[in-house]
Amino acid sequence: MIQEKKTEPTAYLDIEKLEKQFAGKPNLLDVLKQEFASLQETLLPEMQSAFAKGNLQSLKDLAHTLKGNAALIGAVLVQELSQNIEIDARNANQDALYDKIEQLPPSFQQTLAYLDEVSVS
């Protein structure tokens, strides 16, 4: 269960690695945080809407974008989820999609929470 994984922060985000990568680049880290956070307002609702409308092509493309962004910050769980959504959308596996679409917002929310903890000087 996802909730169980929540107990392990690295399942969501490798904070240490992120800090290491962005060491000395605090401004860039801020940009990254803002950009990732903004996805919650843009990308996630678009995905839910596409799923609701049964627009699997659009869902696949949006999931691909989310996958890339999640990979970029090392958001492992969100990346895995969006990758699976992309695959299921491509395969038109609607039954499997439902759960994953459901799991996406809390996972994203938790990732943001951990991301907030990341700081570099």
Partner 1 sequence: MDKSILYIDDDRMSRQVIGGFLQELGYSVVLAESGAKGLQCFHDTTPDVLLLDLRMPGMDGFEVLKQIRRLDSEIPILVISGIGEMEDVIHALRLGATNYLIKSLDDLKVLEKAMKIAFYNLQLAREKKHYEEQLALTLKEKERYQKQLESVFNSIPDGLITIDAQNIVLDFNKAMPIVCPFGRKLEVNQDLSHLDAELGKGCCFEFLKMTRKENRQILNRRVECPYSGMRPKVLLVTSTPLLNSRQELIGATMILKDVTREQELEEQIQNRRKFRNIIGKSHKMQRVYTLIRQLSNVDSTVLILGESGTGKENVMDALHHTGIRAEGPLCKVNCSALSEDLLDSELFGHVKGAFTGAHRDKIGRFEAAHKGTIFLDEVGEISQRIQLKLLRVLESKSFEKVGSSQTITVDCRIISATNVDLAQKVAQGVFREDLYYRLKVLPISLPPLRERKEDIPLLIDYFCSHFSREFQKEIFGVSEAVLNIFMRYEWPGNIRELKHTIEHGCLLSPGSLINIDHLPLEMIDFSSSQGLSIKSKSPRDLTREHIEQALAQSEGNKSKAAQILGCHRKTLYRKIEQFKLPV
- By the criterion CB under 8 A, which residues form the site for partner 1? 14, 17-18, 21, 25, 27-28, 31-32, 35-36, 38-39, 61, 64-65, 67-69, 71-74, 79, 83
Q: Which is nearer to partner 1, 3 or 27 (CB)?
A: 27
For the chain, how many residues are written? 121
95 CB neighbour count, 10 Å cutoff: 7
Q: Which is nearer to partner 1, 15 or 96 (CB)?
A: 15
CB of 120 to partner 1, least distance (A): 12
Residue type, 29: L
- Specify which residues 5 forms β-bridges with: none
Q: Which is nearer to partner 1, 14 or 97 (CB)?
A: 14
CB of 28 to partner 1, least distance (A): 5
State how far the alpha carbon of 13 is from the alpha carbons of 18, 60, 108, in Å.
8, 23, 10
CB of 86 to partner 1, least distance (A): 9
Question: Residue 74: CB partners within 8 Å, gap ≥ 6?
Answer: 13, 14, 17, 18, 21
Q: Which is nearer to partner 1, 1 or 24 (CB)?
A: 24
